[in-house]
Structure 1
Amino acid sequence: MNIRAVKEGKTEVLVPVHEEGVSFPPSAAPVFYNPAMELNRDISVAAISVFAKILSERRNIPVENIRYLDALAASGIRGLRIANEVGVHTTLNDWSEDAFELIERNIEYLGLHDRINASRKNANVLMHEERFNIVDIDPFGTPAPFLAAAARSAVHLLAVTATDTAPLCGAHLNSGIRKYSAVPLNNEYHAEMAVRILLGKIARELAARDRFMRPLLSHATRHYVRTYLEIGNGAKKADRMLEQVGYISHCPSCDFRETHAGIAVHIASECPRCSSETQLAGPLWLGKLHETDFCGDILKELEKTESGTKEQAKKIIELCRDELDIPVFYEQHLLCKRLGVSASGINELIDTLRSCGFAASRTHFSGTSFKTDAELDEIESIISMLR
């Protein structure tokens, strides 16, 4: 295996290099390394750093004693950066012998023997054997096979990446149903659908163990979904968490949508606005996706970093911080097309909604999406007024 040194943030690590002229899918590489996920890793380092400080202050745990697990480490670059830049005690695990050997070589290269433990185990076995303050699941594809073990192993924080956005957002419907025990809808807010389907699955896994979650940050970026969830214990709190799991009924004819909290609820199939047949998505997460203060602290942390994607990361976190806690967003251009009018600037639309007494915000999901507490009739009236 050929290797080369790359630098991300403050950390220089050894990563695999494909032989010139050899082409195969990333999943078939001896050790998986994806430079396009640097943005994901830059946000991860900042988010884990913020949470480690919170944990240290709340629980009186020295940062160096906080245990972090990268359960599917591959090249190990995420965990290596977190060990080096955050200072927590890190376990880097991968079943691949090539990955394990590269991780050990990077530990030697960075001189971090006292801070990193290399492990070569089945990820689920390791998570059932041990518990960690922070568990990070970042597989190639779906995290679904690892969520049950992760829900047991994570003591304080669970971070999850899902790159199987097609099943999560309904493009591969049957695959999404099998993996997440939920029905997604592939419509204009499919990116938010993916986030909420994933969170709904995790919430149910936690509840089965009398545990609960509080989403601190969840974002859909490019081809993946990423979430950071504060974890706690207690059957009653798990019950209250499940009250934020439910369904979304959507009318493809008029774009009406409505949320229904509860695992087993009666939902009419007829749209109350136009009497067309509605579509149903869920069970999924209906609660908050972000905590404002946590996002604000991440922004402060990003300002101090040397990350190569700093400005892009800051923009995502700023949008998440300011996003309304309302499921789900509207797509301005789709509404305008249905009304037969030209779209105004997205900021002008949001300012007008606010001036009319409604809450409104942009979202991180797309540049032309917005959230508001206005009813659809009111939204369409304001869009028509701005034509």
Structure 2
Amino acid sequence: MKVRSITEGDTEVLVPIPVEGANFAPSAAPVFYNPVMEMNRDISVAATSAFVKRMEPDPEKTITYVDALSASGIRGLRIANETGIHTTLNDWSEEACDLIQQNIDNLEIGHNTIASHKNANVLLHEKHFNIVDLDPFGTPAPFLAAAARSVINLLEVTATDTAPLCGAHLNSGIRKYAAIPFNNEYHSEMGVRILLGRIARELSLQDKAMNPLLTHATRHYVRTYLEMKKGAKQADKMLKNMGFIVHCPACGNREAIYGLAAHIEEKCGRCGEKNMLGGPMWLGKIHSPDFCSETIAELEARNCGTKQLAIKMLELCRDELDIPMFYDQHLICKKLGVSASAIETVIQELRNRGFKASRTHFSGISFKTDADISDIEIIIADLR
């Protein structure tokens, strides 16, 4: 296997060289390394460090982190090298483990870093870790049960199968996540909430609950950081944030219905057309503003190649309303036959009329608000 040296953050590692002209496709090298995910890794280092600082320091206890599906190992190597916590880098590929061990030796971090060659589910069922990180190629669904059992304090999950999550591959999404998504204007947030709903149900089987600290949908993937809470009562409380979205494709009216048993009206109360039902999914908060700020502070203090882009995105996450499903301004304007105003103008006018409103990290042309579609259309029409 041919390798080359690259530097991300403060960590220099060897990564595989793909077949010439293959553009980093997963099959282009014996061990997968994706340079496009650098911002994901920059945020991972910052968020993990921010969380570790929240944990009560105890010199008698070691904070343990596992990258259960390491591939080239670059994420876990950066965690070990840049945060100093005890790290296990696991992969089923022998070539991946050999490369990981070579990088551990080169970085001289063997005192706090272990290369593991196991099936990820086996490892997670065998051991408990304070922080469990799932970053698979594709869906994390096959690993969620084991991760839910293993994790103690923080669960970090990436999903790159956005087509099933967001409804473009409907049947695949139903199989993997046991939920029905909409492939509509807010499909990216739908994917986030479908993923969180699947994780919540897995955690509840272990009498655990999650407190979402940071969740973002960026390009072709979803990433979430979930603080763990223990106990059946916490799990019961968490499940109250599960529910469904009722959506009218004709007029755009939508409503969040909480609970795992939902009764909906067959026809839209606004226009009389047939409603659609999506879910079950997570309807609770997806960010903690305080944690977003703490992660931003970590990014500002670190040497990260995507620092400015990452901070800008996290600021949007921090400031967006905790309301399920955003509105696409251009779609509404097209329906009304009017030109779109600047998004900040729309948000300010919503606030002027007594509604809550914010931008959203999901889309630059979209916003979140507690106004219903009728009020939104009136305000946008008045701005033309």
- Same fold by TM (over 0.5)? yes
Tell me the secondary structure at the aligned position of residue 215 of structure 1.
strand
Q: Which residue pairs with 2:137 in the alignment?
A: 140
- Mapped to 1, the partners of 2:262 and 2:342 lie a distance apart of 39
Q: Which residue pairs with 2:244 in the alignment?
A: 247
- Structure 2 portions without partners, runs of 5+: none
Tell me the secondary structure at the aligned position of residue 363 of structure 2.
coil
What amino acid maps onto 1:123 in structure 2?
Answer: A
User: Cα distance 1:160–1:74, how it changes in 2: closer, same or farther (>3 A)?
Assistant: same
What amino acid maps onto 1:13 in structure 2?
Answer: V
Aligned length, in residue pairs? 384
Match of 1:103 among 100, 103, 115: 100
Does structure 1 residue 75 correspond to structure 2 residue 78?
Answer: no
Which string of whole-angstrom CA distances, capped at 9 and with x for unpartnered residues, describes residues 149-193 of structure 1? Answer: 000001000000000000000000000000000001100000000
Q: Which residue pairs with 2:51 in the alignment?
A: 51
Does structure 1 residue 354 correspond to structure 2 residue 354?
Answer: no
8 Å Cα contact 1:3/1:17 also seen in 2: yes
Which string of whole-angstrom CA distances, capped at 9 and with x for unpartnered residues, describes residues 107-143 of structure 1? Answer: 0010011010110000000000000000000000000
8 Å Cα contact 2:66/2:87 also seen in 1: yes
Q: How does 1:370-381 map to 2 (within 5 A)?
A: 370-381=367-378
What amino acid maps onto 1:15 in structure 2?
Answer: V
Structure 1 position 25, deviation (Å):
3.6
Q: How does 1:143-222 map to 2 (within 5 A)?
A: 143-222=140-219
Which string of whole-angstrom CA distances, capped at 9 and with x for unpartnered residues, describes residues 288-313 of structure 1? Answer: 00000000001111111110000000
8 Å Cα contact 1:360/1:371 also seen in 2: yes
- Mapped to 2, the partners of 1:24 and 1:15 lie a distance apart of 11
8 Å Cα contact 2:18/2:24 also seen in 1: no
Q: Which residue pairs with 1:20 in the alignment?
A: 20
8 Å Cα contact 1:75/1:103 also seen in 2: yes
- Mapped to 1, the partners of 2:209 and 2:18 lie a distance apart of 42
What is the percentage of aligned positions where both structures have the same residue? 66
User: Cα distance 1:21–1:346, how it changes in 2: closer, same or farther (>3 A)?
Assistant: closer
> How large is the Cα RMSD of the aligned pairs?
1.3
Which string of whole-angstrom CA distances, capped at 9 and with x for unpartnered residues, describes residues 201-220 of structure 1? Answer: 00000111111000000000
Match of 2:311 among 289, 314, 327: 314
TM-score, reference length from structure 2: 0.98
User: Cα distance 1:312–1:342, how it changes in 2: closer, same or farther (>3 A)?
Assistant: same
Structure 1 position 22, deviation (Å):
6.2
TM-score, reference length from structure 1: 0.97
Structure 1 position 19, deviation (Å):
3.9
8 Å Cα contact 2:17/2:29 also seen in 1: no
Structure 1 position 61, deviation (Å):
3.1
Q: Which residue pairs with 1:343 in the alignment?
A: 340
Q: How does 1:205-354 map to 2 (within 5 A)?
A: 205-354=202-351
Please identify runs of 4+ aligned residues in structure 1 that moved more than 4 A.
21-24
